[in-house]
Amino acid sequence: MTLPLPVIDLAFDRSHIWHPYTSLADPLPVYPVTGARGVYLELADGRRLVDGMSSWWAAIHGYNHPVLNQAVTTQLERMSHVMFGGLTHEPAITLAEQLAELTPEPLQKVFFSDSGSVSVEVAIKMAIQYWATLGETRKTRLLTVRSGYHGDTFAAMSVSDPVTGMHRLFSGVLQRQIFAESPSCAFHDPWNEECIGDLRRKLERHADEIAAVIIEPVVQGAGGMRFYAPRYLGRLRELCDEFGVLLIFDEIATGFGRSGKLFALEHAEVSPDILCVGKALTGGYMTLAATLTTGVVAETISSGNPGLFMHGPTFMANPLACAVAAANIRLLLSYDWKSKVAGIERGLESALSPCRTMEGVVDVRVLGAIGVVELENPVEMGLIQKKFVDRGVWVRPFGRLVYLMPPYIITDEELGLLADAVTEVVYETLAESR
């Protein structure tokens, strides 16, 4: 069955629709997409691009996957949505069972929400309400590390990197959180206690006003694409316990295999008190996130006054999203995804390595299905984006970072095309800027 091509009014788009982090006065061009299949995005002019972004970490199994399509279609015929207040349904229960089973054993209680940022708001609210229930009403602040990213809503912004984030714009409005230096040991560096020294000192000084530490385990995503030593998380867990502070892991970017482990926390075998997942949860089909917590946190919140957790989004546990998420997780566990991701890691490592010696490249790093080329200077988005599209790949750098996180279904040949495009475009861009 072929569908008629949609009519695309680019002029209307340009003058009326906000795209992420853009101006409406003079926006950079956007490329109209009419379809997506497997690892390819199909543009309106007929070009096909190999996708290097997985639509921001999400589409781990590519687009239009028959198994995921079937899950949505089957659920659609039952019901697309019902309110979650006073009602429940099989897709939510199945998915919650999977999440409780696959994450560390203490995390048994699941709160569904509609996006990653909201799941972070929920996590922060849980931590503050936990301490309030215990009579610790001063413990309302968050401690985090620099170069983090946790979302665009207000509490999430307040714990994202204060320099690359939006603190300047909203200073005076954002809650004032406590920032420690980001972990200074890279993924493979030997452990050195000073890696966590600044965070430890901040805990020592402020523990009585801190509800929780929030951090992205092992991989700091949109805040800088940094990979740090897993040992950091073990020490962090010990320090949080020592100082009486909850620990929140934000696995919205790393969850579901991206870093080479199902969850990045498995690099360290550490369990947080609260865990956020999103992005790849539905295989990129639609928006859904979840916040998991322990029996202790849930029971404490439920024991106090009002004895309720005060949150409930309209589209909480949307059945379509839960059904496709459950199917996506079953799909992921049905094949040897670890070997696939390890293969992508080797492929990226070898294909991106020519960048290491280029003048103007600061670092090349690869972990799991994530490859990063860090440049000395920021790229010009409009220019570099076009170079990639002209080479038949979809790569969207930001700032000084050109990076890849392809769908796991990518073939060696397509991965080679993608990584070679990065190497060539980086080379060309650096040459032109000299």
Ligand X SMILES: *Cc1c(COP(=O)(O)O)cnc(C)c1O
Catalytically active residues are 21, 149, 250, 279
Strand, helix or coil at 134? Answer: coil
Min dist CB 320 to ligand X, Å, is 17
Flag whether 313 is marked binding: yes
Told to check if 250 binds ligand X by CB under 6 A, we report yes
The answer to the question of whether 250 is labelled as a binding residue is yes
Interhelix angle 90-102/319-333, rounded to 10 degrees, is 40
> Which residue has 């002029």 as its token pair?
11
Position among 252, 370, 389, 405 found at the interface with ligand X (CB under 6 A) = 252
H/E segment holding residue 394: strand 393-394
CB 128 within 8 A of CB 306: no
User: Is residue 418 near ligand X by the rule CB under 6 A?
Assistant: no
Q: Minimum Å distance from CB 272 to ligand X?
A: 14
* CA separation, residue 404 to residues 28, 88, 279 (Å): 21, 39, 16
Residue 56, marked binder: yes
Q: Is 261 in the site for ligand X (CB under 6 A)?
A: no
| Using rule CB under 6 A, residue 222 touches ligand X | yes
Q: Is omega for the bond preceding 306 within 30 degrees of 0, making it cis?
A: yes
Compute the least distance from the CB of residue 278 to ligand X, in Å. 5
Site string for ligand X, 129-168 (x = CB under 6 A): --------------------xxx-----------------
Q: Which residue is nearest to ligand X (CB)?
A: 116
Contact status: 51 vs ligand X (CB under 6 A): no
Contacts of 42 (CB under 8 A, 6+ apart): 33, 34, 35, 36, 48
216: contact with ligand X by CB under 6 A: yes
Establish if 182 lies at the interface with ligand X (CB under 6 A).
no
CB of 402 to ligand X, least distance (A): 18
Q: Is 431 exposed, middle or buried (0-12, 13-18, 19+ CB in 10 A)?
A: exposed
116 belongs to the binding site for ligand X (CB under 6 A): yes
Structure tokens at 32: 């109209």
From the CB of 149, what's the least distance to ligand X, in Å?
5
Q: How many CB atoms lie within 10 A of CB 77?
A: 7
Find out whether 248 and 275 touch, Cβ atoms under 8 Å.
yes
- 339 marked as part of a ligand binding site: no
Tell me: is residue 116 an annotated ligand-binding position. Answer: yes
- Residue 114's contacts (CB-CB under 8 Å, 6 or more residues apart) are 287, 288, 289, 313, 315, 316, 318
What DSSP string runs through 267-316? GTT---SEEEE-GGGGTTSS--EEEEEEHHHHHHHHHSSS-S-----TTT
Nearer to ligand X, 255 or 347 (CB): 255
From the list 37-45, 92-100, 110-118, 405-413, the region that binds ligand X by CB under 6 A is 110-118
Count of residues engaged in binding ligand X, rule: CB under 6 A: 15
Is position 287 annotated in a ligand binding site? Answer: no
Is residue 182 marked as binding?
Answer: no
Known binding residues for pyridoxal 5'-phosphate: 116-117, 250, 313-314
Residues that bind ligand X (CB under 6 A): 115-117, 120, 149-151, 216, 221-222, 250, 252-253, 278-279
